[in-house]
Structure 1
């Protein structure tokens, strides 16, 4: 239970195998935490300036302060940033004067290059968005993956102008205002949810092999068949598609066309006294820069209380790479050796692999989702999860809550209809 939220606590370590934070300006995750009685456990990141750097293969440079998503929102910080050349900065500032683009969808790489220029894309937006979705961020659908940015262009005529307004409302990552977690890791939220289900039968680790619709639903599992009034498929899109093939072939076909990318995290513990100086919360690694990892998080510098006294935690994130645990640890060490020159002895190591890490919202995603959701024409069937309206925890929680409300309404309507017939 918990999907890709996987928090491991042992010997004074708090290790996240999946996501390690939620963004504050998307309120649904924080609202759920508060509703579960976890208000006092919510923590922010430790303040850091700069909060993170981007390594282009030659050197690591700070991300400009005041960034909103991938858009510069502080012109003075942009002007001082060594990440862009003077020509690249001038081209980015041209966004303030360019006309709006066409209203339809476009590849995310083309969208950012059109608004902010090729340097902002290659040196800033691509590493940041690649860290969210993995794979090639240039092929993502702007309207599906980053609809907020398309909305900024539409509302303000300029990404930078809209981002400057957002910054005043949301705060920045440098002040520890943007991201939040729980003192004992995000797994504490899943555990609190589980505690609320006392008296509810949970069957974890049971394979669902087929669905059948009679007057009610029959769920065929590795432990036998279950009868249900309603079914919520919160499985990866391909799994949902396989289960729906006999029931709604068109929706099944659309679900199976949503691509997924593999991901993995490797967390390494070191004696802090042996670690070289580390800046901020971490480091993103630009694609094509020769690194295997997409980025590193200096976990003990991002969150308090994640490692025993005297030890430091370093987390590597990999995308699009299917490899064994030992190989992933070796790749993380090799990348660190390139960054640091010498890697101290590893005290502990944890590896989490996700063969179907995240759905990829490529061009045509919104049309595929619309076709997939037609499966809900089947009475009592509902779809939920990261494949539809956002891959982040807040978006998934928002969709889950909306689907739960619809399930309750459906069951009430069914109960009322049965009472009338009785």
Structure 2
């Protein structure tokens, strides 16, 4: 019987193991996780009537792979959308909080009427943005994301709208992101439609808008319900928690040396952060290992406060983003009880702050979040509870040159039976990670001699 070891019990590793087991239930699969729990950054807390997420809190509907998995797991009745809100969120420019224009597709305006009424841009900024419809498309070559948006829509749209919206996705300076790696859909819109605005208008007809609660989705019990459902489906798979891989050997098979002993396998999937994979592969493929270590990561954190609702000032929509270089420590706030139904008991509210690229202790993160709330509200009531989550290497950063680094990193798959998966390669969102997990599972099945899983078999 063929055997596969999957290293990493986050969304990527769980997806690989699930799709392998669905297509080949008699395949011997072992899932190794260094932590005491599965799920990686998917961290749902249910406590005293509160339901909150330490990591991601939603998936986007127009990237179908996460919701397809949800349906396969029988959780379709648990899917919920965000509560309708208009405006859905605000951007604080350091002086005042202003509504995000309605009708955005990703970060691109699709409603020129809403853009014309928006106080975020000056009259000249609005005229410059509208001229995007007339600007010839550029080349298909890569460029910094900030330069791409400025070229198409002007500096004001970049500084006042797109930079705040995109800054929390990958961390670090969003201007330096690789457009082709981080936002390939936008580059494709330019090439296919000749205009980002024109392409966004078409997409809005297909996808709906965040104002109607149609863009984002979660589960009634939080995204942790997805992890729990996967764990149940993998009950026949050997799962080893608190197990760190220390070294790898490749002879006529894989030998995986762990803190709990040595395993043998025909195929090996590294669904670990790029730096971890690079360290393990250094003796076996130095070139790929070097490329893996060159993929930068940034810290990510969330702080969630529970407040007595009567003590809070009015809050608009689902939350607020903070413009860069305006003296804020947080990248943004989410009014969780106004974004999702049933997340706080009667009379209480949940406020979530998120940080990107900031290393600090849990106490310091909470203090910084309260300081920024005080700047917004004037004074902040005493929280009745505080939850803090921090990952020192929380977000891979797709900076310029990312695709070339990934190409060199994936050369490690020339080693027989080795496969790489995870957020470091082709997308940081949960849907993209699940999609890669499914694709890797298909390739593993081919390698170990099982028939490639068909769509019907996986469903």
Q: TM-score band (shorter)?
A: over 0.9
Looking at structure 2, the residues matched to 144 and 251 of structure 1 have their Cα atoms a distance apart, in angstroms, of 19
- Give the superposition deviation at 1:205: 2.2
Q: Deviations over 1:113-144 (max 9, x none)?
A: 00000000000000000021121000000000
Within 1, Cα distance between the matches of 2:250 and 2:113? 61
Equivalent residues of 1:261, 1:357 under 8 A apart = yes
Which of 56, 76, 81 aligns to 2:118? It is: 81
1:367-409 per-position Cα deviation (integer Å, ceiling 9, x unaligned):
1111111111111100000000000000000000110111112
CA distance in structure 2 between the partners assigned to 1:205 and 1:10 by the alignment: 25
- For the 8 Å contact 1:98–1:158, the answer to whether it is kept is yes
- Shift >6 Å, 4+ stretches: none
Partner Cα distance (2:47, 2:361) in 1: 23
Match of 2:184 in 1: 147
CA distance in 1, matches of 2:43, 2:416: 33
Q: TM-score scaled by structure 2?
A: 0.89
Q: Give yes or no for contact 1:262–1:322 (8 Å, CA) kept in 2.
A: yes
178, 193, 198: which one aligns with 1:161: 198
State the match for 1:19 in structure 2: 56
Q: Is the 8 A contact 1:22 1:179 kept in 2?
A: yes
Count, aligned residues: 414
Q: 2:79 and 2:350 mapped to 1: Cα distance?
A: 20
CA distance, structure 1, for counterparts of residue 282 and residue 393 of structure 2:
20
Q: Are 2:295 and 1:266 equivalent residues in the alignment?
A: no
RMSD between aligned residues:
0.9
Q: Please tell me whether residue 404 in structure 1 is matched to residue 444 in structure 2.
A: no
Corresponding position: 1:337 with 2:374: yes
Find the partner of 1:202 among 221, 235, 239: 239
| 1:361 aligned residue (398, 408, 429) | 398
User: 2 CA distance for matches of 1:87 and 1:338?
Assistant: 30
1:57 maps onto 2:98 in alignment: no
Shift of 1:2: 1.2
1:341-361 CA deviation, whole Å, 9 max, x = no partner? 010110000000010111000
Give 1:11-410 correspondences, 5 Å limit.
Answer: 11-410=48-447
In the TM superposition, residue 413 of structure 1 has moved relative to its aligned partner by 5.8
Could you say which residue in structure 2 is the equivalent of 1:420?
none
Q: Quote the residue 1:6 is aligned against.
A: 43
Cα distance in 2 between the residues matched to 1:383 and 1:266:
31
The answer on whether the counterparts of 1:322 and 1:355 sit within 8 Å (CA) in structure 2 is: yes
Q: Distance in 1 between matches of 2:429 and 2:225?
A: 17
Structure 2: how far apart are the matches of 1:241 and 1:345? 45
Runs of at least 5 residues in structure 2 that lack an aligned partner in the other structure: 1-37, 452-459
- Distance in structure 2 (CA, Å) of the matches to 1:260 and 1:323: 16
Ranked by relative contact order (alpha carbons within 8 Å, sequence separation 6 or more), the top structure is: 2
CA distance in 2, matches of 1:406, 1:178: 31
Distance 1:199 1:395 in 2: 26
**Larger CA deviation: 113-122 vs 402-411:** 402-411
2-side partners of 1:233 and 1:10: how far apart? 33
